[in-house]
Chains A and B, each alone.
Chain A
């Protein structure tokens, strides 16, 4: 069974640009969550999508947005990039129930210069 796939693995962008990250969940999983990981802040929850609807949202500015498609694949978009957005962005999928463990992808390493 294929795991969670995130593309691209690495990205280098300039301040002010925008970026789109992609996540393909494990087959059958309907929930996709996004996390930002930085050395100083740990794993910060961005948002969760379930059956194409945003079910939960973290405390990030509106520059961070996401969506989920009918096949459960998800995309995350960050507009007007700032230096502080440099981080590892992790996507995790699950069945979606309240006790479902998360299965993480390898992440996208975003560097903003």
Chain B
């Protein structure tokens, strides 16, 4: 079945440093979504990418979808303590129906002052 891996699993950064998490799918995706889960909270939808090579920005966050639609990345510029949490990518396969999203393994981000 479809598998989605993320690296790194953990990342500690100093406030102000940049952060990137990478997401790789074993199969081609129709679209990819990104979620953020704060400690003790639930995943919250950030953004969806649909087109090959698509790049979207949300303030300090930049999301990319690979040309082959099998990988994606999230880059945070100048991290802040409010960025702490676990970031998940979630992909929907080309043949899968409905809302079956396969979540990546997640990258836990810790930001130190």
Query: Are both chains from one complex?
Result: yes
Residues of A participating in the B interface, judged by any CB pair closer than 8 Å:
31, 33, 35, 42-45, 48, 50, 55-56, 58-59, 90, 92, 94, 96, 98-107
Beyond A55-B97, A96-B99, 17 additional contacts (C-beta under 8 Å) are A33-B101, A43-B103, A45-B100, A45-B101, A45-B103, A56-B96, A56-B98, A56-B99, A90-B43, A92-B43, A98-B31, A98-B99, A99-B31, A99-B48, A102-B35, A102-B90, A104-B43
Interface residues of B in 79-98 (CB under 8 A from A): 88, 90, 92, 96-98
Nearest A residue to B103 via CB reads A43
> Which single member of A31, A98, A104 contacts B92 (CB below 8 Å)?
A98
A102 & B98 in contact (Cβ 8 Å cutoff): no
Q: Which residues of chain A have C-beta atoms less than 8 A from B99's C-beta?
A: 31, 33, 48, 50, 55-56, 94, 96, 98, 100, 102
B33 at the interface (CB under 8 A from A): yes
Q: Which residues of chain B have C-beta atoms less than 8 A from A50's C-beta?
A: 98-99
CB distance from A42 to the nearest CB of B (A): 5
> Which single member of B50, B88, B100 contacts A43 (CB below 8 Å)?
B88
B78 at the interface (CB under 8 A from A): no
Dominant SS among interface residues on chain A: strand
A42 & B103 in contact (Cβ 8 Å cutoff): yes
Q: Give 12 pairs: A residue, B residue, CB < 8 Å, sorted on A.
A: A33-B99, A33-B101, A42-B104, A43-B103, A48-B98, A96-B99, A98-B92, A99-B31, A102-B33, A102-B35, A102-B90, A106-B42
